[in-house]
Amino acid sequence: MTTSGTNDYQLGSWRVRPSLNRLESAGKVVSLEPRAMAALCHLAGKSGATVSKDELLAEVWGGIAVSDNAVSRVIAQLRKALDDDAQAPSYIETIVKKGYRLVTTVEPWVPSATAPSSHDAPKPRGWQPVALFGLGLLGLGLLIALAGFTRLAPPETHGVLRPLTSLSGSEQDPAWSPDGRYLAFAHTPADTHQSRLYLRPRTGEPLTRLTETGLSERAPAWSPDGRRLVFLRGDLSACSILIATLAEPPRFADVRELAPCQHFPYATLRWGADGQIYLSDRETALTPVPSRLWRLDPRDGRRTALTEPPPHGLGDRAPALSPDGRVLAFLRTPYWSESEIRLRDLGSGEERVLARLDHAPRSLSFSRDGRELVYEDNRDGGRVMGLPLDGDGPSLRFSTPTGVGALAAGPGPKELSFVSELSDSNLWATPLAGGEARRVTASSRYDGKAQFAPRDRRLAFASERSGRPALWLQEDGTDRMLAEVPDGSAIHRLRWGPDGRRILISTGSRRLYLYALAGGKLSPVDTGTGGASLGEWAPDGDWVYFSSDRDGDWQIWRTALAGGHAERVTRAGGYGGQADASGTRLFYTKYTSTGLWRMDLATGRESVLLPAFCPCAYDHWLLRPEGIYQLERQALQSRFYRYELVPGEGDRGEQVLLRSLPATSNEFTLSADGSALVFCRLDRAESDLAVYASD
């Protein structure tokens, strides 16, 4: 039998699932690291023929220079996973001085039932594993990669999830017509960056493409009578708001430009029951000013400002209109990871804060009865939260393993449409002096937060390939899992100890853990009460610094690993600190203001080193003796800088561009000798539309 890279197959008593990197047998599930799965699939494709170590190195490691022991370790991992015995093999036999071969039959996997298929897509994704990306304003994190909607997992609460689309690429911005007959949405094919508007009948009949231009169209919104759509058209350099009249059969009868806009594709449109259009947009495209809310007259395009956000942060965004059209809800994000849900009475203009959140959702929607708002929380999978307008706190409405976004009331009274978000992120390496980048991990789920060891090329990284957030180690070209996070929360930062024998783990639950490679023990770090984030070693290895808001605002603290009370270090704000090699100076950002700061730990005196440094880059820089490194993500490419500390010039850094790279995330690490740069890259991003119907 010839196997593919993604098709399931039967190997003895095991079901092999390459797309999920796992084996299943009689209720037992075993996760494999990607290279082990690739080696198994290569052996399976040879129909019992002997495969040499050189062939496995070429096919599985792609020519990366590793020792023969790397192959032996992977074979040992496979035997352990398969419960195989090297002396009396049932699966993998060693052929002395020649290689390895499979000694059991390989058969196609025949599922017990036929999976449902989607009939609304001109290019369906089918059974292939997919990935998708939520277009957060700050790129709020990379989401786990899972299967397509033909395998849509059930929610954790009572209700039914149903796929609406399964196109190749990304579907965004769902909007149901007032009568519930049609779903308008934007679709970006996998092979292009240009999005188009489509209509999907509720009955599931074939899709209708509404637009075909050289620009992208996004954010459709229906008029109250369901006869017109308002939407955005633009690219990174231009943005317009257009209105189109719909004819039967569904198509655009005429399209006219209503007004310019500034922030494509992040501007958002809603059409109110009062006939006015409500818009979230920047005032100008020239500078990254916060967004605000506007009222737009559909007759002449005249717009009037409704809100006055603070001058920092993301501003006012994600507008949602109550079903009766009297209340405008929106998110105000004064800082990069905090938000307020605010309500504005459109008649009186009065505003009030409904809730304050410690994260930044991307969308809001009223329920059909107008009694609650829903928003998403993607910090651990995808959770949709309901917030009653009567003052009660939020509660979980449903959750899925994937990230969610673009929430919109569905056609039924208890239905909610949303975008299901998947992504495939891997680690890549490139010589700092120049040259091609190569992929160093190959997982179908998130790999990131990489950190080189202090004196060699061992690479610690976070991965969710086992199904839960875990600490992994790559050594000599082989990946192995060290430990899963006990509380299941995401890993936010990894740091090697100065001795190269311990790894400090910071999690989304504001806990620190210490992993000792000798003995493989994972233990919590006692940081006192109030939570701890973004742990960092002191150079002596006896203390760790961390960030905490336990006193009401974010400051840098430290604690001794031998025990004792945590000590506050900064007084005027601090976040994401790093100490220099001498241990006499601490460098850090501040949560609520721009700048990269430096403190003399002996005197407590602080000064600003880089005044324009964005607080959102709190964990996207690295302090080394030769300077400060930063990977800055831009629209089409990323740039890697070093700020050289100018001696005798006081608090000043001189910026030097080292490399330009294809668009990446902001995560990176440098090898100990400074020759290799490893960064996290989103290799594939896709999304589908779905609807949740509560009981």
Mean predicted lDDT score pLDDT of the chain: 84
Q: Which two tokens stand for residue 339?
A: 């938000």
Going by pLDDT thresholds of 50, 70 and 90, the confidence category of residue 661 is: confident
- Average the pLDDT over 125-139 and give the result: 32
Q: In 14-52, which ranges are continuous DSSP H helix?
A: 34-44
pLDDT on residue 114: 34
> For every residue of 426-464, which 3-state class applies, written as one string?
EEEEEECCCCCCEECCCCCCCEEEEEECCCCCCEEEEEC
Report helix, strand or coil for 611: coil
Mean pLDDT of the region 105-111: 77
Mean local confidence (pLDDT), 230-240: 90
Alpha-carbon gap, residue 442 to 60, rounded angstroms? 10
3-class SS at 479?
strand
Q: How confident is the model at residue 133 (pLDDT cuts 50, 70, 90)?
A: very low
- Res. 241: pLDDT tops 90: yes
pLDDT of the residue at 116: 31
> pLDDT tens digits, residue range 364-394?
999 989 999 999 988 767 889 999 998 778 8
| Radius of gyration, alpha carbons of the chain | 27
Which position has the higher pLDDT, 608 or 142? Answer: 608
- Name the β-bridge partners of 398: 384
- Where does the pLDDT of residue 477 fall: very low under 50, low under 70, confident under 90, or very high at 90 and above? confident
CA–CA distance, 512 with 504 (Å, rounded to integer): 7
**441 compared with 637, residue with greater pLDDT:** 441
Q: Is residue 520 helix, strand or coil?
A: coil
Where is pLDDT greater, at 72 or 428?
Answer: 428
pLDDT of residue 225: 95
pLDDT value at position 288? Answer: 65
pLDDT tens-digit map of 298-307: 999 999 999 9
Longest Cα–Cα distance of the chain, Å, equals 84
Q: Is the pLDDT of residue 143 over 70?
A: no
- pLDDT on residue 237: 80
DSSP-assigned letters across all residues of 617-631? GTTSEEEETTEEEEE
How far is residue 237's CA from residue 48's CA, in Å, rounded to a whole number? 57
Residue 146 pLDDT greater than 60, yes or no: no
Confidence band of 331 (pLDDT split at 50, 70, 90): very high
- Could you tell me which of 299, 229, 235 has the C-alpha nearest to residue 261? 235
Residue 376 has a pLDDT of 93
Residue 505: per-residue pLDDT: 97
The size of the chain, in residues, is 695
Residue 70: the pLDDT is 76
Instruction: Kindly tell me if the per-residue pLDDT of 484 is higher than 60.
Output: yes
Residue scoring higher pLDDT (152 or 97): 97
Residue 348 has pLDDT above 90, yes or no: yes
Q: Please give the residue that has the higher pLDDT: either 623 or 445.
A: 623
pLDDT at 328: 97
User: 100: closest CA among 119, 77, 120?
Assistant: 77
**Tally of CA atoms within 13 A in the half-sphere of 168 that contains its CB:** 10
Residue predicted with more confidence, 618 or 139: 618
**pLDDT tens digit sequence for 244-264:** 999 988 889 899 999 999 988
Residue 151 has what pLDDT? 36
pLDDT confidence band for 119 (50 / 70 / 90): very low
Asked which of 5-19, 168-182, 313-327 is least confident by mean pLDDT, the reply is 5-19
* Residue 120 confidence class, pLDDT cut points 50, 70, 90: very low
Listed range (165-169, 255-259, 646-650) with the worst mean pLDDT? 646-650
**pLDDT at residue number 286:** 62
How far apart (Å, rounded) are the C-alpha atoms in residues 414 and 159? 10
- Which of 27-36, 218-227, 356-365 is least confident? 27-36
Tell me the residue ranges of DSSP E strands in 511-652.
512-516, 521-524, 533-537, 543-548, 555-560, 567-568, 575-579, 585-590, 593-600, 606-610, 621-624, 627-633, 637-645
DSSP 64-91: ----HHHHHHHHHHHHHHTT--SSS-SS
* pTM, two decimal places: 0.68
Tell me how far apart the alpha carbons of residues 183 and 207 are, in angstroms, rounded to a whole number.
10
pLDDT level of residue 63 (50, 70, 90 thresholds): low
The tens digit of pLDDT for each residue in 588-605 reads 999 878 899 999 999 999
Contact indicator for 357, 341 with CB cutoff of 8 Å: yes
Instruction: Find residue 310's DSSP bridge partners.
Output: none
CA-to-CA distance for 33 and 466, rounded, in angstroms? 8
Helices (H) then strands (E): counts for the chain: 3, 53
